[in-house]
Amino acid sequence: MLYSQLVEKVLGHFEQNLPFVLYSLPDVAEIVGIFQNNDDYNTSQVLHENGFAFAPFHSHNETVQISLKSSEMILCNDLPEILKTDPEFIIKESPDDKKGHIALVSKTKAHIKAGKAQKIVVSRKKEVVLQKFNLKTLCDSLFSQNPSAFRYTWYHPRTALWCGATPEVLIKTNGSAFSTMALAGTQKIDGKSMLFWAPKEKNEQKWVVDAIVENLLDKTTALNISKTKTHIAGNLAHLCTDIKGVLTSSKYALQKVVEALHPTPAVCGTPRKAAQNFIIENEGYTREFYTGFLGIVNNNKHESELFVNLRCIKIEGSTATLYAGGGITEDSIPEDEWEETHNKLQTMAKVIQPLL
């Protein structure tokens, strides 16, 4: 199907308040659309349906699923043309935005220094008013940028519209083999200076790797951990360690591994429960699907690809809500952590630039 025809299908579903998702896998020049033929709100604690899963940050809440049994799947190898935008565009933020996040980081750092956690990932949201919302323009902008990310547009009348471009894999399965990644540390790429990773980022990365490995040990029969490398995602660089292995033979192997991984130390912290409790009590807003997970579930072939929902936007009416966060340790510098979240917001700010 041509991209123009796919967009017509999207607009028709959106006007009828019917659920759909468009997605494009990293470095794959193809967009897949799944269009549900009713407005049922299918939720489950178990990834049992073949289709697309959309899960919230809080793991006790149920995952929303668009099942292939009640949907039409369409493949599109025709990608949109790149829109003309201002390469120097950045989203403006107020002194209160900065003051609020620095206060949160300082409080988090004090909590960690008191011995109550090793690392906590705190985040914030930024609401922007859209002057000219157009779903076609949003899709054009999203799917013509960030080709190395997992890009998606999700809609259900019960969840509102979400879109994103995430660099982080939660888990990929191929039969009993699986792969995941530990992603931590962030630097802005300016093209002028070489990247240097400070001890704070290296320690943070090690904690993420160690926590993931510990959570996976009793779910796998083999684990292979790569050397840590620099992973480029748009104009940002991260530390990345690939982790591969073999799942224990079980009907619910995927579900058990997802429960072991989510929420990952890269979006929550360590220890997980202590970090999660601090986040709930102190962030000042509900993350909803930000830092949840999403992707394709195929239990028949045991081939699933799930991603962490980073660099995303929720759009409801004329309001777009952007999200960004960072891992806090006792070595964190609040001003630097503010700057990191500001830089992270720009990935999706560039996507909605044509709508502002």
Q: Kindly write down the DSSP assignment for every residue of 75-116, as one continuous string.
A: EE--PPPPPP--TT------HHHHHHHHHHHHHHHHHHHTTS
Per-residue b or e along 225-262, where b marks 16 or more CB atoms closer than 10 Å to that residue's CB? eeebeebebbbbbbbbbbbbbebeeeeebbbbbbebbb
* Residue count of the chain: 356
d(CA 73, CA 202): 42
Contact present, 111 and 269 (Cβ < 8 Å): no
d(CA 173, CA 150): 16
Candidates 351, 341, 344, 254; CA nearest to 295 is 254
d(CA 89, CA 97): 19
At which residue do the structure tokens 């579930």 appear? 297
- Three-state secondary-structure class, residue 336: helix
Candidates 179, 293, 183; CA nearest to 246 is 179
Q: What is the pLDDT of residue 224?
A: 96
Candidates 120, 95, 84; CA nearest to 283 is 120
Give the CA angle between residues 16, 22, 24 to the nearest 5°.
170
Contact present, 171 and 244 (Cβ < 8 Å): no
pTM: 0.96
Q: From the CB of residue 300, how many other CB atoms can be counted at a distance below 10 Å?
A: 8
Backbone angles phi, psi at 39, to 5 degrees: -105, 25
Contact present, 114 and 122 (Cβ < 8 Å): no
User: What residues form DSSP beta bridges with 322?
Assistant: 126, 313
Q: What is the pLDDT along the chain (356 residues), one digit of tens a residue?
A: 999 999 999 999 999 999 999 999 999 999 999 999 999 999 998 898 899 999 999 987 899 999 999 999 999 999 998 888 888 899 999 999 999 999 999 999 999 999 999 999 999 999 999 999 999 999 999 999 999 999 999 999 999 999 999 999 999 999 999 999 999 999 998 777 778 999 999 999 999 999 999 999 988 888 999 999 999 998 899 999 999 999 887 767 888 899 999 999 999 999 999 999 999 999 999 999 999 999 999 988 788 999 999 999 999 999 999 999 999 999 999 999 999 999 999 999 999 999 99
| Ranges assigned E (strand) in 189-283 | 220-225, 229-233, 236-247, 269-270
Domains within the chain, CATH numbers bracketed: 3-83+95-355 (3.60.120.10)
Candidates 65, 244, 99; CA nearest to 169 is 244
Backbone angles phi, psi at 164, to 5 degrees: -170, 170
User: 169-174 and 177-188: which strand pairing?
Assistant: antiparallel
